[in-house]
Structure 1
Amino acid sequence: MGPPQSRTLSKEIVDAGSALARGEPILVYDAPEREGETDLIFLSERATPELIHLARRDAGGLICTAISEELRRRLDLPFFSDLLANARIHYPLLASLAEAPRYDRRSAFGITINHRANYTGVSDNERALTIRTVGEIAANARDRSAEELRGEFSEAFVSPGHVPLLYASPGLLRERKGHTELAVSLLRMTTLSESATVCEMLGDSGGARSPVAARRYADDHGWIFLEGNTITGAWQQWSA
């Protein structure tokens, strides 16, 4: 993992990459026309029990770990919707469940995993180990063959588990503008290992935390708050 690069990137993007590299979380709001949610995001290979505790206490949503399409393909991991579709021959009810979410054409959800060293896999310590190991595999992926990666993955994890994986779209923000793609695009632009862990920020009224409240939370903690269109704009310029 190298330090963030400044290749035509704004200070906001470079600072966000630097914060992630230091092990700090950042907050990213997607867009009002999409989920309309803010996610707390941190670099997977920097996962600690303290970050997991922070995510479940202060964010409150599902703690998921995103990886790039390249890593998913090399590991040959299936989307969960594909597992449902393929299993409908034996379980017909699943055919009616495998639908796209209301806010997108396809769900990014993949399989769920636990580290083999874990007991239940749900504690802060154990989820941190699972997530950190995913991040380490992502960090070393370029130096491994697909066969080596699959061997490392199968030796490290079991499924099902307590950490859901999310898979970024092949074209990243050209195809989909979810938090999965926003996070992985940010990591790629800032030359960090391409696995981020995300958790939705929930409010006290039963819905998502408002972007105003999420920004206030970020300011109170001295953390970076980014709008999704800031990352998308930077990506369009960077990848042109």
Structure 2
Amino acid sequence: MTGAAGVAGAAGAGDAAGAGDAAGVPPVTDPGAAADTAEATGASSIEAALDHLRQGRPVIVADDASREDEGDVVLSAELATPEWLAWTVRVSSGFVCAPMAAEIADALDLPPMVAHNEDARGTAYTVSVDASAGVTTGISASDRATTLRVLADPASVRDDLRRPGHVLPLRARPGGVRERNGHTEAAVDLMRAAGLRPVAAISEIVADDGEMMRWPGLVALGARDGVPVVSIAQLVVWLDERDRQG
């Protein structure tokens, strides 16, 4: 895996663009311009991102500058490995969440974390979990990879998870990014588009100065470690075009 074993954080990429960089994610609004926009801004194609996800490798997904203006590492939960979880923790806040289709959360008996959600973006956190078997404290990259794979396993049941834990599942809206343009829905939509189980792992990327990494830094990080970088706006256009083509 390119860069995973030896990366010691977002060094270099974080230097390229820290929190003070005002350049946000470029808009992509029509299919005809999508490829040109991606090439001009350093973004990868959605197809490249899907290919990486199918290989169990991460991608970086950025939202709009008018929203959070942040980038998240996105991984397939069913293909999660300790190596890529460790890389994710090194370049991010280390706060690993697991977006999933709502029906999977229901099947695993993962209720909302609170009765009244006061999160500014309406992020649908459930109770936190660890795998019931095959983990120690639950916090290591290996343990969290195990928990993610349990969450994604169609054979898993409620008792395969213990509560609380060190992975935070998130319930995605049924309409995906076209209902809510957040990283939760983007991650689940990407899994579905890749033909994978609709459960992902995400974590917000942080620059060396401790602030959230913006678009230029995300592109630099992706180039350094061979990780595709795409935007939620790109994904919306790609999904719309796919649906039009049938």
TM bucket normalised to smaller? 0.7 to 0.9
Counterpart position of 1:222: 226
**How far apart are residue 26 of structure 1 and its match?**
0.6
* TM-score (normalizing by structure 1): 0.78
Partner of 2:138: 121
Q: CA RMSD in A?
A: 1.9
- Describe the superposition over 1:129-162 as per-residue Cα deviations: whole angstroms up to 9, x where unpaired: 1112212x2xx3xxxxxxxx6xx32231100000
Paired position in structure 2 for 1:174: 178
CA distance in 2, matches of 1:236, 1:159: 38
The superposition leaves residues 213-234 of structure 1 with CA deviations (integer Å, 9 ceiling, x where unpaired) of 1111101112211011001111
By how many angstroms is 1:19 displaced? Answer: 0.7
The alignment of Structure 1 onto Structure 2 pairs a total of residues equal to 201
Correspondence 1:206 to 2:225: no
CA contact (8 A) 2:72 2:202 kept: yes
Verify: 1:108 aligned to 2:137, yes or no. Answer: no
Alignment of 1:41-190 (within 5 A): 41-82=74-115, 85=116, 98-101=117-120, 104=121, 106-117=122-133, 118-135=135-152, 137=153, 140=154, 152-190=156-194
Give 2:47's aligned residue.
14
1:115 is aligned with what amino acid?
A: A
Distance across 1 between alignment mates of 2:189 and 2:82 = 25
TM-score, with length taken from structure 2: 0.76
Question: Is this contact kept in 2: 1:17–1:192, CA < 8 A?
Answer: no
Secondary structure in structure 2 of the residue aligned to 1:32: coil
Conserved 8 A contact 1:81-1:107: no
Q: Shift of the alpha carbon at 1:239? A: 4.1
Alpha-carbon displacement from aligned partner over 1:76-126 (angstroms, at most 9, x marks no partner): 4322232xx4xxxxxxxxxxxx4131xx2x222111001112221111221
Alpha-carbon deviation of 1:61? 3.9
Q: Could you say which residue in structure 2 is the equivalent of 1:232?
A: 236
Q: Please give the alpha-carbon distance, in whole angstroms, between the structure 2 residues aligned to 1:56 and 1:169.
A: 26
Report the counterpart of residue 23 of structure 1 in structure 2.
Answer: 56
The letter of the residue matching 2:57 is E
How many Å separate the matches in 2 of 1:34 and 1:221? 26
- SS at the partner of 2:213? coil
Counterpart of 2:195 in structure 1 is 191
CA contact (8 A) 1:109 1:164 kept: yes
Q: Report what 1:143 is aligned to.
A: none
Q: CA deviation at 1:15?
A: 2.0
Instruction: Report if aligned partners of 1:189, 1:238 keep a CA contact under 8 Å in 2.
Output: no
Q: Contact (CA 8 Å) 1:70, 1:170: kept in 2 or not?
A: no
Work out the percentage of aligned pairs sharing the same amino acid: 29
Deviation at 1:195, TM superposition (A): 0.9
Counterpart-to-counterpart distance in 2, 1:73 and 1:170: 13
Structure 1 stretches lacking a partner, 5+ long: 1-9, 86-97, 141-148
